[in-house]
Amino acid sequence: MKVSDFLKEYNVKLLKGLGQNFLTNTHIAKKIVERADINENDVVLEIGPGAGTLTEFLVLTGAKIIAVEIDKRLKPILERFNKYDNIEIIFVDFLKFDVSVLPKGFKVVANIPYSITGMILKKILFSDFSKAVLMVQKEVGDRLLLPPGADRNFLSVVVQSYTMVRKVFDVSKGNFVPRPKVDSVVLEFEKTEDFKYDIKEFWDFVSKCFGAKRKTLQNNLKRFTRIECFSKFDLKKRPQELENEEFLELFETFKGCK
């Protein structure tokens, strides 16, 4: 049954406020799940199963699927998965969901609501995930991949420093119901093994470095630390000009600046 048929049968009208744009293309859904390289020993978190287009392929992997959905009106549509013993559907706002209950190394597969992409990424990065395959707004995804010197933001730096992030493929707006105004992109994130810092502390530090994006590092750093600690760095640069490795060196210096 098509997504539109499910919605019609159960009289569910999608809510713009929840960023509900449901994937309808099963070929794309299959490719996303295949990219996650899931086996039956994995635990997989699906954020926002919606009408279950991705879920249909996730349950077939044999892995334990934890699907977190904010909209309880979708319960009758998702009840078709009750016949599987490897899926648990939890109706709660993902931003309030306790990801610490998931085992270390869990995977994430999701079509992310555009309006809260940053908050969802933050929660994933702060968790014990190992790999995530996420569909996000194309503009947001493209920015996450920007190199130093481009018009990137602190989230790009954190993501590129903490994970191996790759573009998988673009998804045009015509593959969703309702049709969004923008295209999407599928990204793959794999946590790097050599990141030795506390990700929450690093996130906070990089965020402060970008406090005033058009100002120099010196102007941003002096707001929260002793500037003399950073004498070996060129603080006349703007934050978006730095290599990811330079941010790691800055952070190392910051931690030792007492």
For the annotated binding site, the residues are 21, 23, 48, 69, 93, 111
Alpha-carbon span 135 to 141, nearest angstrom: 8
* Dihedral sign for Cα atoms in the order 64, 68, 72, 77: negative
Binding site listing for S-adenosyl-L-methionine: 21, 23, 48, 69, 93, 111
Alpha carbon 100 to its chain centroid, in Å, reads: 17
User: Strand 22-23 relative to strand 176-177: parallel, antiparallel, unpaired?
Assistant: antiparallel
Q: Which residues pair with 171 in a beta bridge?
A: 184
Alpha-carbon span 239 to 220, nearest angstrom: 9
E strands, the chain, in order: 22-23, 43-47, 64-69, 87-91, 107-111, 131-137, 163-171, 176-177, 184-191
